Structure 1
Amino acid sequence: MNALEMKVANLVELSKVEVGYEEIPSIAPNEVLIKVEAVGICGSDIHYYKHGHIGKRTVQYPHIQGHECAGTVVEVGSHVTKFSIGDRVAVEPGVPCRTCEKCRSGKYNLCDEVVFLSTPPYKGTLRQYINHPEDYVFSIPDSLTFEEATLAEPLSVGIHALNRANLKPGMKVLIMGMGPVGLMAVAATNYFNAEEIAVTDMVSHKLEVAKSLGATQTIEVSKQEIVENYFDVVIETSGAEQALASAVNSLKKGGKLVSIGFPRQQNVTLDLTTMLQKEIDLLTVYRYANAFPLAIKILNKLKDITSNIITSTYVLDDISGAMEKACETHLDTIKVIVYLNESSL
């Protein structure tokens, strides 16, 4: 590796990732160059790693994954006004066109031209340096570690879900599935002052972490039943048919089902008859829009708790181990962090 090269993690085939080398990217006038300090492994990374696609989006090998990212600004473009060299930042990975109807109406997450880091064919953040437009980069306080700051991305999904549900203080909320997005949704729901926050999972450790983030009731689904006709809002994070059926049954009349998780199959069955009789609103979530600043604020408030979500850390040279560990979602593994510019831990 020469002075102008950086290490990258190349997904070269299904379930096989190798360390390679690329040139450090140059920057446009409106961009900053970021030395990537920490990247969180996301559920979508696991999908691409194990299956090679999500829906119709298919990996073209080699592919660089990762989009939950924080780091340090090391170079600024000539038109950049928000940042200076040395600033600590978190990266919002989706950059839209900014001019289409969806962008101009504030729904830029639905922009047809969005460039989203790690979504094929775009490179992700599992590389030592990335270039990114300054308006999708956000300062983080010194009190927040880089690894904690990577959680701004999944937390933004939870915030967007609550915005879609129009959550009000005093509502009763059920959040199904305590992976990183589900846990971050618990943190956001607590911040939004829900009256009750019930959570479900099959792993008791994850339920305990949820309780530390503000859950008022934990339900280990293999041992306990979910109360029916009770909740104002259900946030479902797995996409599993059985979970969606339970969500419909648990909602009171006029309740809202917010679906976040991608199902394993293209089509799933919903009990539309019951949904009609209860007049349930079905809302879906695709990424997020205008949520990152609030996510960073919530993380800074809860920094001593959210660190419980980070269960394993790896360096880039051990990226294979990091990906395999991230796949152990049925165990105590919650969030795996990769350090991009450290040679050992």
Structure 2
Amino acid sequence: MKDQIIKTVIKDIIKDSISQTGNSAIVLRKVGDIVVEQRPIPIIEDSHCVKIAIKATGICGSDIHYYRNGGIGKYILKAPMVLGHESSGQVVEIGNAVTRVKVGDRVAIEPGVPNRYSDETKEGRYNLCPHMAFAATPPIDGTLVKYYLSPEDFLVKLPDGVSYEEGACVEPLSVGVHANKLAGVHFGNRVVVLGAGLVGLLTGAVARAFGASDVVFVDVFDNRLDRAKDFGATHTFNASKLSAQELADEVKELLGGQNADIVFECSGADACIDAGLKVTKAGGTMVQIGMGKNYTSFSIAEVSGKEMKLIGCFRYSFGDYRDAVKLVASGKVNVKAMITHRFKFEDAGKAYDFNIAHVGEVVKTIITGPA
């Protein structure tokens, strides 16, 4: 018995020794080329920094864009880059000054860290900081690694009962939280969501959680609209082959002859932007979340004539991650319903290819591990 215990201890020591020899990472070397590489294990040098063993990571559309095209706008892939920014994990080491988390805590990782001295950060809108270091945005490496470093104040602890997979879904959910806060959604609001993709679904779900009485999802794919029923939809509408005005008229009818208090445009399509302006009530609000063409045409008379608000939305800011975790923990938003596929860490390359080949059926793919 004693010999067996010794053998087990030795085996564990060897296993731990091997695990510390490298930091497995999913690296995009160039367009169309994803590999597993060994990177140095990160060392905590900032006393407020935390080392996390990554447990789950979601694949984002931006990752796919870098994989296929090598760039998004001004961010161009010029050197190999670790992918991933929707991650959760477990704290394995903390800096000397860390007080917010401890070793063993399970956390969601907010992946964008601003410059602490920019005007935008001081104004409380750090998501707009021009010096933001955002994971998996060239030249910043992402979170698809065995061990990742983060400042302690960009981590949110996951309550008991919230899985690592759900923790990885907090990143896109935070976009929906931020959009709803910008719009000021409250009890009794009539809300329209144009585009029932991932962000649209989550934005609508948050609107219902914030008290909206009506949430109308509009899309051109019936399978997306069917899924919207799991994300707070009170009505769904297929807008195929309709003009912007026809779409607006149909939605108004669904709302009992009333226009929407708040519209979330989540597609970026010209027709939806135009329709969104038309379906917003006088004095109402439209939040533009979807990223379409750099330039588009719409009736500015709708904006000025209705004295409506047209608000841009970019990522998330202070408190959004924390509130997103609360929504998941309370069961008010079921992010598990958006997870359609799972892949192991070593199969990450296959996961990206699968997402591209099955874009119509994938909502969210989770890569598990490696830790």
In the superposition, the TM-score normalised over structure 1's length comes to 0.93
1:236-285, CA deviations, whole angstroms, 9 ceiling, x for partnerless residues? 1221212212212222222222111222x322222223333233321101
Show the counterpart of 2:87: 69
Give the Cα–Cα distance (whole angstroms) in 1 for the partners of residues 159 and 54 of structure 2: 16
Indicate conservation of the 8 Å contact 1:55/1:266, yes or no: no
Which structure 2 residues correspond to residues 149-298 of structure 1 after superposition, within 5 A? 149-222=167-240, 226-228=247-249, 230-263=259-292, 265-290=293-318, 291-298=320-327
1:86-140, CA deviations, whole angstroms, 9 ceiling, x for partnerless residues? 1100001111122332212211111122211111111111111100000101100
Gap change, CA 1:159 and 1:304, over 3 Å in 2: closer
Find the residue that maps to 1:322 and give its secondary structure: helix
Structure 2 residue 328 is the aligned partner of structure 1 residue 299: yes
Gap change, CA 1:271 and 1:223, over 3 Å in 2: closer
Show the counterpart of 2:14: none
Indicate conservation of the 8 Å contact 1:325/1:336, yes or no: no
Indicate conservation of the 8 Å contact 1:203/1:330, yes or no: no
Structure 2 residue 28 is the aligned partner of structure 1 residue 11: yes
Out of 334, 338, 342, the residue aligned to residue 363 of structure 2 is: 334
The total of aligned residue pairs comes to: 341
Percent identical pairs in the alignment equals: 35
Out of 338, 341, 349, the residue aligned to residue 309 of structure 1 is: 338
Give the Cα–Cα distance (whole angstroms) in 2 for the partners of residues 150 and 312 of structure 1: 13
Find the residue that maps to 1:86 and give its secondary structure: coil
Q: CA deviation at 1:176?
A: 1.6
RMSD of the alignment, in Å?
Answer: 1.9
Find the residue that maps to 1:183 and give its secondary structure: helix
Q: Give unpaired runs (5+ residues) of structure 1.
A: none
Give the Cα–Cα distance (whole angstroms) in 2 for the partners of residues 208 and 223 of structure 1: 19
Indicate conservation of the 8 Å contact 1:159/1:185, yes or no: yes
Indicate conservation of the 8 Å contact 1:238/1:261, yes or no: yes
In the superposition, the TM-score normalised over structure 2's length comes to 0.87
Find the residue that maps to 2:82 and give its secondary structure: coil
Give the Cα–Cα distance (whole angstroms) in 1 for the partners of residues 71 and 296 of structure 2: 18
Q: CA deviation at 1:205?
A: 3.0
Q: Give unpaired runs (5+ residues) of structure 2.
A: 1-17, 253-258
Give the Cα–Cα distance (whole angstroms) in 2 for the partners of residues 309 and 335 of structure 1: 6
Give the Cα–Cα distance (whole angstroms) in 2 for the partners of residues 303 and 165 of structure 1: 19
Indicate conservation of the 8 Å contact 2:189/2:261, yes or no: yes
Give the Cα–Cα distance (whole angstroms) in 2 for the partners of residues 304 and 157 of structure 1: 13
Letter in 2 for 1:326: N
Indicate conservation of the 8 Å contact 1:5/1:23, yes or no: yes
Larger Rg over CA atoms:
2
Task: Compare 223-232 and 96-105 and name the one that shifted more.
Answer: 223-232
Show the counterpart of 2:13: none
Structure 2 residue 62 is the aligned partner of structure 1 residue 44: yes
- Between Structure 1 and Structure 2, the one with more helix by share is 2
Indicate conservation of the 8 Å contact 1:203/1:332, yes or no: no
Q: CA deviation at 1:328?
A: 5.2
Show the counterpart of 2:102: 84
